[in-house]
Amino acid sequence: MLKRVLIANRGEIARRVIRSAHELDVQAVSIYSPHDQTALYVREADEAFRLNGNLPKESYLDQEQVLWAAKESKADAIHPGYGFLSENAAFSEATARAGIIFIGPKPETIDALGDKTKARIIAQRLGVPTPSGTTEALNSWQEAAEVAEKIGYPILLKAAAGGGGKGMRVVDRKEDLASSLERAKGEALSSFGDDRVYVEKYITNPRHIEIQVLADSHRNVIHLGERECSIQRRHQKLVEEAPSSVLTPALRREMGEAAVALVKEAQYTGAGTVEFLVDDKGKYYFLEVNTRLQVEHPVTEFITGLDLVREQLVIASGGKISITQDQVELRGHSIEIRVQAEDIWSGFMPSLGTVSYVRHPGGAFVRNDSALFNGLEVSGFYDSLLSKLIVWDTTRDLAIKRMKRALEEMKVVGVSTTIPFGSFVMDNETFRRGDLSTAFVEREFSDAIRDELLSQQRAKSVSSFVTVQDQVDQSRQRRLFVGAEVSTKVFD
């Protein structure tokens, strides 16, 4: 088993990895930017190393600094989390050259599957349905215009590297193509250090369904069913659940087998996700492979009983997946709400400031993967994700009720969050029926509906506000930790 793992990430996912590492008696090393020096994950790690600069390119995307910290800490492995360097083949290769295990696929596998254009080629070779479009990055907007003319608008511009909705633009007409391509390339470069963009036909109002896979170095590959991730805005997921309310056992088996075939073809190892779009006729199309852990992995953990980070650590140590495909059993229903620092009343604009008070929800089968604490400064340097609230129950209806209650318990003061949107979704009849598509936010959370909800929110603001006693309790709180040994060494 691994002895010491450096986590090349921040926030709630760093805390998530630390927990599983400690349960396996593996020491956890964190890295942090100056902005993150008071973060919970820094204090919960066994050792922490400071990086230079707050911008991603000056910190968590700086491969040289990350590898320096891994060597200084004598880590024998690096867990990349998600985002940042998690799907960077060059970083995986550099890690291997440094004699350190990269907890994820080999560089050539990331290059084949993490690169969206190459993954499309593999899918087409295996006969997995794909939307029409290019299999090479675009060289110019004129080339994009020729492709769009051939396949028809609307089209989707997508970053070839990375994921998480970054570097993506829907284009409905030729007049918007050049500016959209420029913005997509700029965002891709900023997020992944790679500005390559390709184009595919945009499928209107599909469901977004993804299949979780695990693969080890002993040629064992399994899938763990699907997650429904259709509720999105700007291609960023807001609500996820497992299983999907639309998949039949036959379709689940077919999509699962297609996902397994894809990762087998690329000689995959570790945890990964194969994403699909499903249209209103039940036909599915390959979208992409995320060669990393997904933000929404906890809903799969709830319905399968597996710890996916533990599986990653065991696989990276040379061990086998803990179960076989025949042993995979999907039990009950799980829902995840992403708590983002965003103002839902102003188009989900980022909300910056200092968190002055947090009240976490509790109860049976309620999980809160959170980076929140009193005094947390929310800046514009990084992603707006603050916390992930996840629940499980025996049926979808009961899971919705449990999530609604948990959202009512959760309080965050100091910045606006997406908690009210989560409550709106749980009450929404379209969601309750399971009648979902990626157009859910646009259709169900229109300006008129939003304004009405805002009026209702203001009317009950007195009763829903944090109580005086809560604030008194807050002022008396003292954070008690077993602190990390923070290194005084700084990369230069």
Span of 203-207, 250-254, 351-355, 486-490 with lowest mean pLDDT = 486-490
Torsion of CA 258, 202, 350, 356, to 10 degrees: -30
Sequential DSSP letters for 455-479: HHHHHTHHHHSPPHHHHHHHHH---
Is residue 468 over pLDDT 80?
no
The tokens 């609604």 sit on which residue?
Answer: 404
Q: How buried is 432 (Cβ within 10 angstroms: 0-12 exposed, 13-18 middle, 19+ buried)?
A: middle
Interval 276-288: pLDDT, tens: 999 988 999 999 9
CB 367 within 8 A of CB 403: no
- The arithmetic mean of pLDDT across residues 102-131, rounded, is 93
DSSP 167: T
Handedness of CA 171, 428, 357, 51 (dihedral sign): negative
Q: Which of 10, 292, 338, 402 is catalytic?
A: 292
Interval 190-204: pLDDT, tens: 888 889 999 999 888
Q: What's the confidence (pLDDT) of residue 463? A: 45
Write out the H or E segment, with its range, that includes residue 333.
Answer: strand 333-340
Structure tokens belonging to residue 451: 């304004």
For the chain, give the mean pLDDT: 92
Percent of the chain with pLDDT over 90: 82
196 is catalytic: no
3-state secondary structure of 385: strand
Domains in the chain: ranges and CATH:
4-103 (3.40.50.20), 132-201 (3.30.1490.20), 207-463 (3.30.470.20)
For residue 275, which phi and psi values (nearest 5 degrees)? -100, 140
Structure tokens belonging to residue 424: 């709106």
Is residue 483 over pLDDT 60?
no
Write out the H or E segment, with its range, that includes residue 119.
Answer: helix 116-126
pTM: 0.88
Nearest Cα residue to 188 out of 231, 235, 150 = 235
Using 50, 70 and 90 to split pLDDT, how confident is the model at 290? very high
Q: What's the confidence (pLDDT) of residue 314? A: 98
Interval 405-447: pLDDT, tens: 999 999 999 999 999 999 999 999 999 999 999 999 999 998 8
Is residue 469 over pLDDT 50?
no
Give residues with Cβ within 8 angstroms of 371, minimum separation 6: 10, 11, 12, 15, 39, 40, 41, 385, 386, 387
Q: What's the confidence (pLDDT) of residue 487? A: 63
Is residue 73 over pLDDT 70?
yes
Q: What's the confidence (pLDDT) of residue 161? A: 80
For residue 215, which phi and psi values (nearest 5 degrees)? -145, 140
